[in-house]
Amino acid sequence: MRLATRLPGERHLAQHDADRIALIREQIAGVGDRWRVTHPWLARHQNGIGLAIFVGSIVGVLGDAALYRIGVLPWWATILATGFWLSLLHEIEHDLIHSMYFRGNKWMHNTMMLGVWLFRPSTINPWVRRRLHLHHHEMSGTASDLEERGITNGLRWGGHRLLSLLDSILGYAARPFRMRRLVNEYVAQAARDPEDARRLAMTTPLAYFPLSGLHYGLWYLTIGVHLYEFFGGSIAFVGAYAALNFFAVTLLAPNMIRTFCLHFVSSNMHYYGDVEAHNVLQQTQVWTAKWLWPVHALCFNFGGTHAIHHFLVRDPFYVREAIRAECQVILREHGVRFNDFGTFRRANRFGLAASGSVEP
């Protein structure tokens, strides 16, 4: 079988690893090609499919809110159901970052980018995230991989890592100098020139502004008001209190739990620290264990499909899910790790024993 040409960053890799990567990439591409031959409408209507999922997910979020408002859905079911729709919007955002929908129509493309941000206000600006994410693909597992390090990849497990997964803002606030260092390492590696470095240094720390500030502010207000009531306080503004609770159940809490599920999976299935630059074999593992189903339900099986994306970026998320089983066979046959939960003890190091210093 003819092997694909190495990508530019892979030219330094040992021949054995380069050949395995090329073979995996070619075989995954073959699976996707066969799927497209069997289902030719997928390629013809990729923009329409993405738009339909985008609109359908927003309708799902609004529908859940309406059903909760009239008493059909209880609060816990509303949070979980809405979290699922939001996980689809996350996948749409990820595909948009890779320009898989409306590549030639900037208005539609940017409208969808804005939409996925408005309904997931706990997340960073998607236009800022595009630069972070493309750099993640380029430098996955290394010191400048801000996208993954920012969600705790590479940290030793403990109270700070758990806090950061539960609440990104509190995690950053608890160790502000760590975040400054991560941003500086990212800017130093990602910037194309001094002017670009200045721009990245300015825009990256503001990635959570303004929507995340509003989201987390309302979330903390909700918690504070409930604690006040729990300890015997009297609520004066009943209408505002009801509106805050409604917003918390229908958007704030679903975003918090969805974000935790995604960050828990992503930060632990990616390796960090002793990863050879551009060696895709060392960047991720595959998670298929049944105990992960609850978290995978709210991040659209991220741990089961994301390794496919690292080898071959071209396919939208629903195609990756459709070809997942066959691609997982390919990954397993060529030595990609599955269910390596020792990574929790090793602070996500690739080596069977953590090598080098581990960030506390």
pLDDT at position 352:
63
- Report pLDDT digits (tens) over 283-321: 999 999 999 999 999 999 999 999 999 999 999 999 999
Collect all residues with Cβ–Cβ distance below 8 Å to 73 and sequence separation of at least 6.
64, 67, 81
Cα gap 240→246, rounded to integer Å: 10
Q: Which of 43, 287, 262, 6 has the alpha carbon at shortest distance from 153?
A: 262
Cα gap 256→120, rounded to integer Å: 9
| Average pLDDT for 111-123 | 97
H or E stretch covering 143: none
Q: Per residue, what are the HEC states of 269-287?
A: HECCCCCCCCCHHHCECEC
Rounded percentage of the chain residues whose pLDDT exceeds 70: 95
Answer yes or no: are the C-beta atoms of 334 and 23 closer than 8 Å: yes
Residue type (1 letter), 189: Q
pLDDT at position 10:
76
Answer yes or no: are the C-beta atoms of 281 and 331 closer than 8 Å: no
The phi, psi pair for 4, rounded to 5°, reads -70, 150
Q: Is the pLDDT of residue 186 over 70?
A: yes
- Report pLDDT digits (tens) over 243-292: 999 999 999 999 999 999 999 999 999 999 999 999 999 999 999 999 99
Structural domain spans, the chain:
8-344
| Better pLDDT: 275 or 9 | 275
Q: Is the pLDDT of residue 194 over 60?
A: yes
| Average pLDDT for 332-337 | 96
| Average pLDDT for 53-75 | 98
Answer yes or no: are the C-beta atoms of 356 and 273 closer than 8 Å: yes
Q: Is the pLDDT of residue 123 over 50?
A: yes
pLDDT at position 136:
97
Answer yes or no: are the C-beta atoms of 93 and 126 closer than 8 Å: yes
What SS3 class is residue 10? helix
pLDDT at position 355:
46
Q: Is the pLDDT of residue 57 over 60?
A: yes
pLDDT at position 125:
97
For the entire predicted model, the pTM comes to 0.94
